[in-house]
Amino acid sequence: MAEPLSIVFLWHMHQPYYKEPVRGEYLLPWTYLHAVKDYYDMAAIVAETPGAKVVFNLVPSLLEQIRDYAGGTAVDPFLVRGKMAPAEMAEEDRLFLLENFFSANRQRMIEPYPRYLELLYLAGDGAATRLSDRLRHFREQELLDLQVWFFLAWTGEAARRRYPALQRLVDKGRHFSPADKALLFATHREILNEIIPLYRRLHEEGKAELAVSPYFHPILPLLCDMKSAQTAMPRVTLPSQPYRYPEDARAQVTGGIAYFRDTFGFEPTGMWPSEGSVSDEALTIIAESGLKWAATDEGVLVHTLAGGLGQGRENLYQPYAFQSGERRLGLFFRDHALSDLIGFTYSQWDAARAAGDFVGRLLDLRQRAPHARVVPVILDGENAWEYYPDNGHPFLPRLYGAIAAEKGLQLATFSEILERSAPRQVLQHIYPGSWINANYGIWVGHPEENLGWDYLARARAAAVELDDEMANLLSAGGGALDPSATVDDRRRQLCRALYAAEGSDWFWWYGDDHFSPHSDRFDALFRKYLIHVYTLLGKEIPRELYQPIKQKSPAGFVREPAALITPIVNGLVADYFEWLAAGLYDLTKQASAMHAAESLLQSFFYGFDRTNLYFRIDGVSSLDRSLHAGDSLGIHLLTEREWRVTMDMGGGEAKLQCKEDGGWADTGITCVWKIARVCEIAIPVDAIKLAPGGKLFAYLTLVRGREEVGRWPTDAPMVLKYAGPDIELENWLI
């Protein structure tokens, strides 16, 4: 009888290092919130589900933050204001609550709770009024209820089931008392203190393998040698300051292992390198650290093997080994499609249907690739669940249980695969890349990213130049990240500041690949760590570090299209890569200086292939929930003439209209659109007679009844550049 096909789930647990280096204050609350919602729930679900078995990959800088919160030593403005008595709040504190305490997925975390939704309506829910004017609706009881509901909504479903006090608060729903709030935070403290012991128990019981990432989540190949980026991106512009410090990469790896050991009491056996980023030099460091396996993405394997993934993609579903001298490191490659189904698609499906679909795909894979041995499914362990009903609790136990019940399938860990399977092939060389486009373009190449690397290189050089002992410490691999190492406190802080600044998250938000309303906080944190280096050295701080690296684009403009795109028009965005190369406007900056949470629409993406123009409109929350029945969303395009497509709820086809003297006339040209989580639309390029190198202008309207109740932008239209089919010859996607 054929061996069952092994399925390995690796859940990568990571948050940026939010802790400011001087005062020790957390600038953003997401570690705390994901801890009580996701880091606890993910482990609890495995613990309670018969047959469940997974790999949890834990970043040491995340563990450090969880321990800080669990110990009650974290200083977090969100917690401070969450615990503050409303009667003692100044107007600034009350505004802070209205601006920040609705930061939750509306469909899954606000709308299911009538009181929380009622408070959102009181705060304006997108109405064009100033928040300060809305404060009059919030008496002490409303503020207290908002404090409780924000932190209660960010509490996981498994946690609520294990701690009945939480469910009693949900059931009470409103008119919370100070004692209720105190009970909520006391229960959160219990949950926080249970997280690490729960993961340790899962390891001891054989239900989970615990793996590690480099300490501050850096892109290891870029630390080893910035020039490695040129293999996949030969036209990339690198920073002006060369960055080649493999000793830093080694310190991040060995320091991460040391902190993991200090936290759990045993050595990890495997590693998900930050963002799945690998190179020969990075894998050699990982192998020499004593780890037994690492994992990356299928795109890296495609470029590594001469024959690609092979018939039926069978080459993907094998264990490999990387040989470095006498060391051999097991290597696994992530199935992109299966991982993204969980991350992006199944949240809108019925849980039983989603689990059945996933298992059906695995059984089909086993049939068409009979020699497949392991299917690695790797994705973030926290970010998807706010889009699922009940934090994914109805879905994940079904998924684990359905796989465990199939005779032809089995759940496993990567270490188990290595124990019972020889590698398909021993690789002497790995293609340098990450899980995104099999390159490092998200983190280097854009002027903002390169400037950050240059500032970092100068700060590191200053530390080495002014302190011989620092030079020795850095070149020796940085014992400052080992909790047991004896290192002078000032030098320990210097090392930590430099290593923290090497983290991937700052560079993720630089450039125009991604945008966030908090990008200025990430920029500030990065520069604070570099400022701290100069302060510890007693050296004058370069004035440039007081200036933001992240540039604010005028009128919400974020980026132009970088390559051809052909997204599926389904209103869901089921694939991270679908819109990655699209142009982008931040619509929250198109309104009248309102906070992002008050705007109905959040972002506008645009791109094209050889046939169609594609547009995507995102709301602050899911559009199928925030738009009303009878609402009409319109996209207007202006060239020599004005064109529009009008869309109501749902999806289908609509005729492109052209404005004439007598009003709007149908052109007879059909456009496809869909409104679900987002709005997506395809308009034939030929319909509006665009020439390559031309421009068109766009604005959006929302009509309710017969009245226009919203327009984005409020003044001048957005300028959209159309490069034409040769765009990929002009641009290099980074």
pLDDT digits (tens, 9 = 90+) for 311-331: 889 999 999 999 988 899 999
pLDDT at 469: 76
**pLDDT > 80? residue 62:** yes
Residues of the chain with CATH 3.20.110.20: 5-16+207-427
292 in Cβ contact with 269 (< 8 Å): yes
**pLDDT tens readout for residues 332-378:** 999 999 999 999 899 989 999 999 999 999 999 999 999 999 999 99
**CATH assignment, 5-16+207-427:** 3.20.110.20
pLDDT at 708: 78
**pLDDT tens readout for residues 157-187:** 999 999 999 999 999 999 999 999 999 999 9
What lies within 8 Å, CB to CB, of 679 at 6+ separation is: 571, 615, 616, 617, 623, 633, 647, 673
Rounded Cα distance, 352 and 370, in Å: 27
| pLDDT grade for 519, boundaries at 50, 70 and 90 | confident
Ordered alpha helix ranges (H), 478-620: 489-501, 504-509, 519-537
Transcribe 64-119 into DSSP letters. HHHHHHHTT--B-HHHHHHHS-GGG--HHHHHHHHHHTT-S-IIIIITTSHHHHHH
| pLDDT grade for 593, boundaries at 50, 70 and 90 | very low
**pLDDT > 80? residue 734:** no
**pLDDT > 50? residue 596:** no
**pLDDT tens readout for residues 402-425:** 999 999 999 999 999 999 989 989
Mean pLDDT confidence for 241-245: 95
Mean pLDDT confidence for 434-441: 95
pLDDT-above-90 percentage for the chain? 73
**pLDDT > 70? residue 592:** no
Only one residue has tokens 């209205």, namely 98
Phi-psi region of 658 (alpha: psi -120 to 50; beta: other; left: phi over 0): beta
> In whole numbers, what is the pLDDT of the chain averaged over residues?
91
**pLDDT tens readout for residues 656-677:** 999 887 688 899 899 999 999 8
pTM for the model: 0.86
| pLDDT grade for 587, boundaries at 50, 70 and 90 | confident
**pLDDT tens readout for residues 6-42:** 999 999 999 999 999 999 999 999 999 999 999 999 9
Residues of the chain with CATH 2.60.40: 556-730
| CA dist 133 → 7, 122, 130, 137, 591 (Å) | 54, 11, 5, 8, 17
**CATH assignment, 556-730:** 2.60.40
| pLDDT grade for 477, boundaries at 50, 70 and 90 | low
Tokens representing 236 are 């990339």
pLDDT at 131: 78
**pLDDT tens readout for residues 676-689:** 989 999 999 988 88
636 in Cβ contact with 700 (< 8 Å): yes
673 in Cβ contact with 651 (< 8 Å): yes
pLDDT at 597: 33
Rounded Cα distance, 120 and 100, in Å: 11
Mean pLDDT confidence for 594-604: 62
| pLDDT grade for 243, boundaries at 50, 70 and 90 | very high
**pLDDT tens readout for residues 538-557:** 999 999 999 999 986 555 78
pLDDT at 551: 80
What lies within 8 Å, CB to CB, of 491 at 6+ separation is: 467, 469, 470, 473, 480
Find residue 54's DSSP bridge partners. Answer: 208
**pLDDT > 70? residue 732:** no
**pLDDT > 70? residue 145:** yes
